[in-house]
Amino acid sequence: MLLGKHTRPLVAPVTLSAVAALALIGIAAGPSQAATRPGWADTSSLSVRVHGLDSGAGQRYATVILTNKTHKTVRTQGYVGLQLLNSHGKDVTTHVVRDRGQAKLITLKPGQSAYTRLHWGDVPAAGEPTKAEKDPTRLEVTPPDSYHHLNTTWKLGEVLQKGRIDITPLAKGTGPKY
């Protein structure tokens, strides 16, 4: 390359090619997926309710239903956290056991719901406290990946077998009606 006294060197062709390639990659990629993906559901975007299901032979079932109460679409996936409380707001022994179902990503439009099915026993284990000591009246529900919980009324009686509640991963819908 010939250079005079006041001539600046040209940018090397390799540098121009790299800059052009980066520009093309940016154009081809378009907006990021994160910008178009719905936000994660948390306690500010959800409401909760419990629906009792048919039971028998010492077995009890219910669904916990989370509903998108916002005007935006949200996402969720996984298992909720649960804690039973008595009428004084004190913890009642609660031992949540996750089944081995597959946790699928769920997208909830405004007003749509996701549910988890609960199963517990009402036959006491040896040495369990009396009903007066542990009758739950409230349920705290923590959505997946949240640090805060939602509260709802619990009118489904005691959870015996040392507070064991088996749960499924969240699924779209409000669950069975029986």
Report how far residue 153's alpha carbon sits from residue 71's, in angstroms, rounded to the nearest whole number: 25
Q: Which domain holds residue 66?
A: 39-172
pLDDT the model gives residue 124: 82
Query: Is the residue at 136 inside a domain?
Result: yes
Q: Which residue has the tokens 């010939």?
A: 2
Query: Is the residue at 104 inside a domain?
Result: yes
CATH code of 165's domain: 2.60.40.10
pLDDT the model gives residue 125: 81
Query: Is the residue at 121 inside a domain?
Result: yes
pLDDT the model gives residue 177: 85
Q: Is 10 exposed, middle or buried (0-12, 13-18, 19+ CB in 10 A)?
A: exposed
Query: Is the residue at 3 inside a domain?
Result: no
Domain count, the chain: 1
Query: Is the residue at 53 inside a domain?
Result: yes
84 forms beta bridges with 92, 139
Per-residue model confidence as pLDDT tens digits over 13-36: 544 455 454 444 454 455 555 568
**Cα–Cα separations (whole angstroms), residue 136 to 5, 78, 163:** 89, 25, 10
pLDDT the model gives residue 175: 95
| Residue spans of the chain under pLDDT 70 | 1-35, 129-133
pTM of the predicted protein model: 0.78
pLDDT the model gives residue 87: 93
Residue 84 CA from chain centroid, whole number: 18
- Count the neighbouring beta carbons within 10 Å of the beta carbon of residue 69: 14
Query: Is the residue at 160 inside a domain?
Result: yes
Pairing of strands 74-76, 39-40: parallel
Query: Is the residue at 68 inside a domain?
Result: yes
Query: DSSP E strands: which ranges in the chain?
Result: 39-40, 46-56, 59-68, 74-76, 81-85, 91-92, 95-98, 106-108, 113-121, 138-142, 150-153, 164-167, 171-172
Report how far residue 167's alpha carbon sits from residue 66's, in angstroms, rounded to the nearest whole number: 14
Query: Is the residue at 109 inside a domain?
Result: yes
